[in-house]
Structures are given as C-alpha cells and as structure tokens.
Amino acid sequence: MLERLNGDESILDLGCGNGELARELAKRGHRGSYLGVDFSLPLLREAGSQPGEFSARFLQADLTQLSTVSEQLLVIGNWSVVTAFAVLHHIPSTELRLNLLRIAHQLLREDGLFIHSNWQFLNSEKLKARIQPWEAAAVPASDVDAADYLLDWRSGGEGLRYVHHFDEQELDELARASNFQIVDTFYSDGEGGKLGLYQVWKPVS
C-alpha cells in the first residue's frame, strides 16, 4: 500500500498500535503530516519513539466512540489518507463500524482514500483451531452477530478476543452504507498470502 503514496500525503492512522506504519513512513522520508490514534497507552508510548525527524503525533481514543474526539482529528483541508489496518474486525456490531466509517468519510478530502485490512483467520486451519465458544467469555451466543467469533490469544499470556470475519460482500455493503466506493481489493499476509483482505475506498457524495 505504501507504494501508492507520493510521500507528501497527510495520514490519519486509526488503530495505529505501536506505530509500525509511522516508523515505515519515517524510513521512507515521508513529508506529510501523520496522526496515529489508538486506545492502548502502552502501545502509544512505544509508538512515540519514531526515527529521524518525522513529525508523527499520537492520540489516545476509543475508536468505538470516535465522535467524542472528532474535533481533535480535524486538519486543514482534511486528510489525504485514512488508514485502519486490522481494526474493523475488532469493532463489534454493524452500527459501531458504520459510525467509524462515516466519521472517516467526513475527515477525508474529496479525492482522499480510506485504506484498510481485515483478518481472514478462517483461511488458516491453525487459527480456526483457536475459535472458542462464547460461553468462555460469559456471552450468550444470541447476543452476537453472524460471523462474530471468539478466539483465544496465546502471545504473552492467555486471553480471549473478539473478531469479526468479513467477506467481500459485507464490506461492499458497508462501503455503500457509509458513502464509499471500493476501488481496489486484494489479499496478502501470512500463509499463502491469504490472511489479510485489503481494500482501498474513495468517498462519494
């Protein structure tokens, strides 16, 4: 995706995590402004150590309540690019996803791009073996949506995490409902290059 950039775009990185995208931009000499947003303070502290003179900024915020900080996300002329890598599949419910997408739409320039990726864990037998019953989290199965899953997490301890599995049809419906048009779709990452579903959207009025 970075090969698509000219190097002077303003970038809003939703779910920036430990700042890996910002570090890669810095290595490439990116000249545009950058704002990373994430809920995790430990990850944001790690993200704050950027190489060189790259002027990255970071903000703590809950992406399910993005409207509460929308004024802090404004930039003159709006953002050239909004990214959400490995983010949407952790946002529970269509309503909350649409809220995030509509705010992203508002923050983008008319000719801007929304770039995102979603985990395709059902393409891996190893990852499918991590699917747990909702009872493990004391959540009634009747309270979750179709394609919602609970996976165990074994890195640095044990835990459970919510993941929604998107297919292209559902993403097409989300794009239309939030006034976006899909301009590119491809798969990458992991075993066989099929564990990440990437899309590029552009806003429509």
**CB 114 within 8 Å of CB 180:** yes
E strand or H helix that includes residue 143: none
Mean pLDDT by 10 residues, the chain (205 residues): 92 96 93 95 90 85 93 91 97 96 96 97 94 94 94 82 97 98 96 95 93
Distance of alpha carbon 178 from alpha carbon 115, whole angstroms = 14
State residue 50's pLDDT score: 73
What is the percentage of the chain residues whose pLDDT exceeds 90? 85
Distance of alpha carbon 104 from alpha carbon 87, whole angstroms = 13
Distance of alpha carbon 54 from alpha carbon 62, whole angstroms = 25
34, exposed or middle or buried, with CB in 10 Å at 0-12, 13-18, 19+?
A: buried
State residue 132's pLDDT score: 95
State residue 124's pLDDT score: 95
State residue 61's pLDDT score: 96
Fill in the DSSP letter of residue 39.
Answer: S
**pLDDT tens column, 15-34:** 999 999 999 999 999 999 99
Domain edges within the chain = 2-120+165-203, 122-164
Instruction: Show the DSSP H helices in 28-108 as ranges.
Output: 41-47, 94-107
Give the side-chain half-sphere CA count within 13 A for 178.
27
Dihedral angle sign, alpha carbons of residues 68, 10, 18, 105: positive
Angle at which helix 94-107 crosses helix 168-177, to 10 degrees, equals 60
Assigned CATH topology for domain 2-120+165-203:
Rossmann fold (3.40.50)
- Select from 121, 67, 58 the least CA-distant residue to 96: 67
- Predicted TM-score (pTM) of the model is 0.94
State residue 153's pLDDT score: 84
